[in-house]
Amino acid sequence: MALGHAIMTALLEDDLSGYELARDFETSLGFFWQASHQQIYQELRKLSDKHWLSKREVSQRGKPNKIVYGMTRAGREALAEWVFGSTRTQAAKDDLLVKLYNLDSSNAGHLAGEITARREDMMRRLYLYEKIRRRHYSLPETLPTRRKGVYLALTMGIAQGEQFLAWCDEALELLATVTAESG
């Protein structure tokens, strides 16, 4: 049940509503664990049924009411326990790579286009990552402990992203020779 744990992780330091969680996920934990708002709302209900989260309704000026969730003691304990459990190596699933197994002269152009699009996505993401690093993680040695962990996750994202850009360039080069041959 890792989505639940990801949500609790996001709630470690701030109480948030489902909407806020869904929005924040897009620019932080969601880099490493994506989830849709439907999933988040469902999971929040489950977690509060288990009393791992508490909830309270908050009235707002100029906006609909929201339901704000916060970690309970039991939630913190469950999360800490989960961290101590063991995870198996992540199952990779990337259909772009499966598609590459189908490369032929008729689809090489299309695949090059897909790679180009992904490359651009990754550029945007790297820009975000770097912005976050500059703002909040420029001196990793001096960070409080938890933030060092977040820093490492960010570092991972950056390194993988840069590697991906380099791979895209290599792939596009090879694909160009395929399309050229096909006339």
Partner DNA sequence: GTTTATTATGCAAAACATTGCATATCAATA
Partner DNA sequence: TATTGATATGCAATGTTTTGCATAATAAAC
The residues of the shown chain that bind a second copy, judged by CB under 8 A, are: 2, 5-6, 9, 12, 29, 31-34, 79-80, 82-84, 86-87, 89-108, 110-111, 114, 117-118, 121-122, 140-141, 145-146, 148-153, 155-156, 159-160, 163-164, 166-167, 170-171, 174-175, 177-178, 181
Q: At residue 33, what is the residue type? A: W
- Cα(70)–Cα(10) distance, integer angstroms: 10
Tokens 């990793």 locate to: 140
**144 contacts DNA (rule: CB under 7 A):** no
Sign of the Cα pseudo-torsion (122, 145, 14, 52, in order): positive
87 interface partner picked from DNA, a second copy, none, CB below 5 to 8 A per type: a second copy
Determine phi and psi for 105, rounding to 5 degrees. Answer: -65, -20
What residue 27 binds from DNA, a second copy, none (CB within 5 to 8 A, per partner kind)?
Answer: none
Q: Which amino acid is at 110?
A: H
Residue 124 in the binding site for DNA (CB under 7 A): no
> What distance in Å separates the CA atoms of residue 55 and residue 46, rounded to the nearest whole number?
12
Q: In what order do the strands lie in the sheet with 66-71?
A: 16-17, 66-71, 53-58
Residue 47 vs 122, nearer CB to DNA: 47
Looking at 66, 76, 119, 125, which residue binds DNA (CB under 7 A)? 66
Q: Does 96 bind DNA (CB under 7 A)?
A: no
Of all helices (H) and strands (E), which one includes residue 16?
Answer: strand 16-17
- Which residues in this chain contact DNA in the complex, by CB under 7 A? 1-3, 17-20, 22-23, 34-39, 41-42, 44-45, 60-68, 91, 93
